[in-house]
Chains A and B, each alone.
Chain A
């Protein structure tokens, strides 16, 4: 089945130690999104890629970076995780064009803990 896959499902890192979260998709979608979701809150968009074009949200801290080496993969890099970065990180994709252009499909998420 076509899907959005996030690895790992659970990630533990130390305060200040860089960490990378991974997302891959088999939907061949143009757009990939990264969200941060803290407990009992709605997801918050960090940034997205439309093809190779990177779009950062205005309030996303510089500590968060992203890479999209090809259509299928997108990475979230946290350069120096703080305790406040502990959260669920969700990857989503959308076609960006066509009839279903604006429907987002989500991965299962990566739960990040910072010690």
Chain B
């Protein structure tokens, strides 16, 4: 069975400082992992994906994540937070169930950016 754990439900950073959103996964085989962002009353936007290629994945809006198999982690980082980064972030693992790929979502991390 696959699962994903987001270690922080809320993270606050000051504008211009680094962002770290933590995610750990559990999978019996090489996983596909994703980070999505959701702004209030909006759908989910794909930030980046890991699908067994390079372990350091670069995404949109300056975000990146590093897949660390030994630590079963896929943490999301950004060097410098912007006010527009304030949103909910979901870490997701994809699993094959009865012939279809389904998402297993983490519980989400709400990022607050302070001026």
Contacts and interface: CB of A to CB of B under 8 A. Distances in A.
A24 interface: no
B107 A42 contact: yes
B45 A45 contact: no
A109 B100 contact: no
B49 A55 contact: no
A109 B43 contact: yes
Interface in A38-65: 40-43, 45, 48, 50, 55
Most buried by B among A50, A88, A103, A105: A103
Contacts of B110: 40
A50 B99 contact: yes
Contacts, number: 54
Interface in B56-115: 90, 94, 96, 98-103, 105-108, 110
Of A42, A101, A104, chain B has the most CB atoms within 10 Å of the CB of A42
Contacts of A106: 36, 43-45
Contact of A90 (B44, B94, B99): B44
Contact of A108 (B34, B43, B101): B43
Q: Helix, strand, loop or mixed for chain B's interface? A: strand
Contacts of A48: 100, 102
Given A42-B105, A103-B34, A111 B41 contact: yes
Contacts of B102: 45, 48
A90 B101 contact: no
A96 interface: yes
A102 B43 contact: no
A92 B44 CA distance: 9
A6 to B, nearest CB: 8
A31 interface: yes
B106 A42 contact: yes
Interface of B: 32, 34, 36, 41-46, 49, 51, 90, 94, 96, 98-103, 105-108, 110
Interface of A: 4, 6, 31, 40-43, 45, 48, 50, 55, 88, 90, 92, 94, 96, 101-109, 111
